[in-house]
Structure 1
């Protein structure tokens, strides 16, 4: 009889243990599956060497969860919760604790992005970077020549030397690291264009190709026109004609440009005024994209020496000055009718 009672008590105790274990497992599972208290996406930075309990305390301090006893039990039931990586992560409303720790475990760091458009200038790049969120500013006190030196560029001006595109970056990345990527990307793109250039180009170096590409970039944003625009400038260079392109005049005017080019501006000498100087200006006038680089390297074969806007989108290309003058008159008529 005593043995039966002892056996019964042991059985009862085991049942209680099983029930307790089941209840604990259920409560822990519910805790890990419960969403954090977030009303909007939030960024969280996990320090190097941080462990599970430190992260839980961090979340509790932010009011995102309540660290109950189940928070202490959770890593015993789910050991994968202890495997986390350092970095900055974005947490979304509705995500459970388990989903958040999966993000930390997989190292899916939050990234911002910045887009530099084709035809923009280095001055515009600096303004964009200065207002970019989560980008560490290290170049504010440096001038363009100092920044170029840090990038390893052989020129003191960075105009044209950075490839315009969208760059993703981690929180805490520096402006210098971003520019270094853009510089290396342009070097690679320029090298490819130079290696694939037409045999008879009146261009003596990759840098001159970059200068020509920057002018093409400022003259047209229409892909189908780029090689035609390139052919006009290449034809003019071959014949020793001045390029006579307004974007170079505007660049040379700097802060004096108010949105209008006057006759006196076309006659005012600057190193960039291609109505006055022969050949290419001394540096690029903007950041060209890959399409303009390739157009400069492989211009269309044409007899065009002139082009003017149509007023309806695009340009009218001409072989002779007489044809060009008629195209200019047609353009002025369109402007008057608008």
Structure 2
């Protein structure tokens, strides 16, 4: 009898173990299998939240099928206590295992609200925008002048949220003064900032956080520009009339200000290289403008004849060779163009009316191009008068 009971008990234990094993296998499959989410969602994890709250939110959003399995899986993989605050993009079909990894790995938020401080050549602007997870595109919520005394409600609201991301986007061709002036108007940054040397800041996008110092942001920009210049100088072509990386930076800044067409940079660079090789003056308006403004703002009008004749260290109509300093902060492409220009015989160029330029090897050809440009300008002026 006891033998029979023991046998039955052993059988039941074996069956229970098999059932438990089956449950574990089933649970593991549920945890690792693609989830039911049809479209991406933005999951916001509040500071101080826990996995129970997050799993309930995910279940309500239809991102997971079972919140208990979600929590057990996170606990089994030792991630239950690694939950990070922020806004995280959960892609369609993400498994529970993938979602746990997303909300515990750390790093910057991948969706939600972003504030972008854009530092432009002619103006600066602040954008408040939010990522639409279904289209993976940002939707603008507000845009305003950073110098405005009263900030829009959209900005004030997100400014107090811990998961709001901040980014400073610096355009190619801005001056160091413009960057420092813009940073002084960004209220989430702290401290004073000295004016860096012209040209020594890399135009790019920089993630920042509340409490970062203005000086530290400028240091990051300067360090990046130094690396770009070092690499480009190391890879320069032979035979250039440029004696140092500092001179390359000066030429790159002129190229940056002369053309906004990416495909033209190396051709524009070739014009200036050819002029330097022939001992011709560069005769470029952006350098004259810098002599007038010193990089502090935009001229906002055409150059006067008196300014073209004014003696400044940057007036390349009057000085030989390069000016003493850059006239703006050039981007990587312009630096590379200065040190690897196109192989041409061009020594002249003028606007073509479409945003680009037309190039010439001889003065006669250049004069014909100039005449065409003046005709285009006259026709545009006539059209404006008739409107």
With structure 2 as the length reference, what TM-score do the two structures score?
Answer: 0.59
**CA 337–229 in structure 1, closer or farther in 2 if over 3 Å, else same:** same
Check conservation: 1:46, 1:85, Cα contact below 8 A: no
Other-structure match for 1:220: 259
Q: Which has the higher strand share?
A: 2
**CA 73–334 in structure 1, closer or farther in 2 if over 3 Å, else same:** closer
Structure 1 segment 101-140 matched on structure 2, within 5 A: 101-110=100-109, 112=165, 113-126=167-180, 129=183, 137-138=188-189
Name the SS for the 2:317 alignment partner. Answer: coil
Structure 1 segment 22-41 matched on structure 2, within 5 A: 41=42
Matched, 1:144 2:194: yes
**CA 93–199 in structure 1, closer or farther in 2 if over 3 Å, else same:** closer
Q: CA deviation at 1:85?
A: 5.4
Q: CA deviation at 1:163?
A: 2.3
Other-structure match for 1:294: 336
Structure 1 segment 183-194 matched on structure 2, within 5 A: 183-194=222-233
Check conservation: 2:51, 2:83, Cα contact below 8 A: no
Correspondent of 1:83 among 81, 88, 93 = 81
Check conservation: 2:50, 2:83, Cα contact below 8 A: no
Check conservation: 2:84, 2:104, Cα contact below 8 A: no
> Which of structures 1 and 2 has the larger relative contact order (alpha carbons within 8 angstroms, sep 6+)?
1
Q: Which has the higher helix share?
A: 1
Other-structure match for 1:7: none
Q: CA deviation at 1:119?
A: 1.8
**CA 58–125 in structure 1, closer or farther in 2 if over 3 Å, else same:** farther
**CA 224–170 in structure 1, closer or farther in 2 if over 3 Å, else same:** closer
Check conservation: 1:318, 1:324, Cα contact below 8 A: yes
Check conservation: 1:160, 1:287, Cα contact below 8 A: yes
Check conservation: 1:81, 1:98, Cα contact below 8 A: no
Correspondent of 1:261 among 303, 323, 330 = 303
Name the SS for the 2:349 alignment partner. Answer: strand
Q: CA deviation at 1:229?
A: 1.6
Deviations 1:303-331 (A, max 9, x none): 332211121333232422x3322221111
**CA 98–260 in structure 1, closer or farther in 2 if over 3 Å, else same:** same
Which whole-Å CA distance do the structure 2 matches of 1:310 and 1:75 have between them?
62
Correspondent of 1:232 among 271, 276, 289 = 271
Which whole-Å CA distance do the structure 1 matches of 2:272 and 2:370 have between them?
18
Q: CA deviation at 1:86?
A: 5.3
Structure 1 segment 3-14 matched on structure 2, within 5 A: none
Which whole-Å CA distance do the structure 1 matches of 2:232 and 2:71 have between them?
60
Unaligned runs of 5+ residues in structure 2 are: 1-40, 60-67, 111-164, 381-387
Check conservation: 1:44, 1:91, Cα contact below 8 A: no
Matched, 1:243 2:243: no
Deviations 1:71-113 (A, max 9, x none): 999987x674523055644477999999765433222531644
**CA 43–73 in structure 1, closer or farther in 2 if over 3 Å, else same:** closer
**CA 73–293 in structure 1, closer or farther in 2 if over 3 Å, else same:** closer
Unaligned runs of 5+ residues in structure 1 are: 1-39, 48-53, 146-155
Q: Report the aligned-residue RMSD.
A: 4.8
With structure 1 as the length reference, what TM-score do the two structures score?
Answer: 0.65
Which whole-Å CA distance do the structure 2 matches of 1:330 and 1:274 have between them?
25
